Amino acid sequence: MQTAITALAVEYAGLTVIGHVREHNEDRFGWVAIDGGAAYVTPAEEHALTQAVATSDLGLVFAVADGLGGYGGGEIASGMAVEASLSQAQRNLAGGGRIPGILRDAFNRANQAILDAAITGKGGRKMQSTLSTLVITPGEAHLGHVGDSRVYRRREGDLELLTTDHSQVMELLRLHIITPEQAIEHPARYALTRSVGGDITVRTEIRNERLEADDAFLLCSDGLWSNVTSSEIAEALGRSPAEACRRLVDLALERGGDDNATAMAIRVREAGQRPEAPQGWRRLFS
């Protein structure tokens, strides 16, 4: 038997803008409740601030994707990445099972959806996307990540980057070939080493974290994080999710708005209680 699970209570909001330079918005974000219901995915060229409050016994899934503009069909790839990953994750999570494996399945489904669409001519033949997801369940937060969109967490005023950019610049930094100062303006800073839709298989980064009340998360595209500082993100996440999104997107626009910018902020009001793992012989019959 498992202990009773206290329901999650979560407040969240999202905002995406084209910016001052790009003609199209190739960013997408969305969310879905594991308990049921249709997923919300931003339509093309969405600007309006979207916000909600939800209580859930099982949890919620959030996703942000950024289509690669250089290959054509970026807005199609990012939309498919969000929609396919949310629907696959919701279906499998509702049936139970290990979340890391479910996240990998969701990313594989998104990868295959983009490849199939490219083959049948529904977008650019090499269209690709980044994809970052956050699954919040009672007492736990699970991340799936490919590319250079990011997930941050603010806890007790401290900000932590929970994802690693899958980019050539990050690899050069890891190998100590360049310095952090050189990375800022390096010509390879936007060249990805992993993407969804870029190959037959996708290597998904998975991470599991304890969830606490008052935790705040930010999922964002590179058009946002490259134009704001860590201290500004931490300050914004101390506000309501809607205010955080508006503040960070406004900063990105003020500083050039040379790329699509997307922010999705989540505030945990009640973290819920994770189920206890069955012990001893009970594990065989749970």
Residue pLDDT, tens place only, 79-137: 999 999 999 999 999 998 899 999 999 999 999 999 999 999 888 888 999 999 999 99
Can you give the pLDDT at residue 182? 60
- Residue 272, pLDDT > 70, answer yes
pLDDT of 71 above 80: no
Taking the C-alpha atoms of residue 27 and residue 67, their distance in angstroms, rounded to an integer, is 6
Interhelix angle 74-94/99-119, rounded to 10 degrees, is: 140
CA gyration radius, the chain: 18
Local confidence band at 275 (pLDDT 50, 70, 90 cut-offs): low
CA distances for 31 relative to 18, 136, 143, angstroms: 20, 11, 14
Please compute the mean of the pLDDT values over residues 173-197 and round it to a whole number: 71
d(CA 132, CA 53): 21
Rounded to an integer, the average pLDDT of 266-280 is 78
What pLDDT band is residue 181 in, cutting at 50, 70 and 90? low
Confidence of residue 33 (pLDDT cuts 50, 70, 90): very high
Q: Which residue has the higher pLDDT, 152 or 177?
A: 152
pLDDT of 29 higher than 80: yes
CB-based contacts of 269: which residues, under 8 Å, 6+ apart?
9, 10, 11, 213, 214
The predicted pLDDT at position 285 comes to 46
8-161+195-272 has which fold? Phosphatase 2c; domain 1 (3.60.40)
The whole-number pLDDT of residue 183 equals 59
Confidence of residue 282 (pLDDT cuts 50, 70, 90): very low
Comparing 8-17, 48-57, 166-175, the range with the smallest average pLDDT is: 166-175
pLDDT for 1 equals: 38
* CA separation for the pair 267, 223 (Å, rounded): 22
Q: Average pLDDT of the chain?
A: 89
Under DSSP, the state recorded for 276 is P
Predicted pLDDT at 273: 85
The number of helices, as runs of H, and strands, as runs of E, in the chain is: 7, 12
pLDDT tens sequence across 204-261: 999 999 999 999 999 999 999 999 999 999 999 999 999 999 999 999 999 999 999 9
* Domain residue ranges of the chain, discontinuous segments joined by +: 8-161+195-272
pLDDT at 48: 73
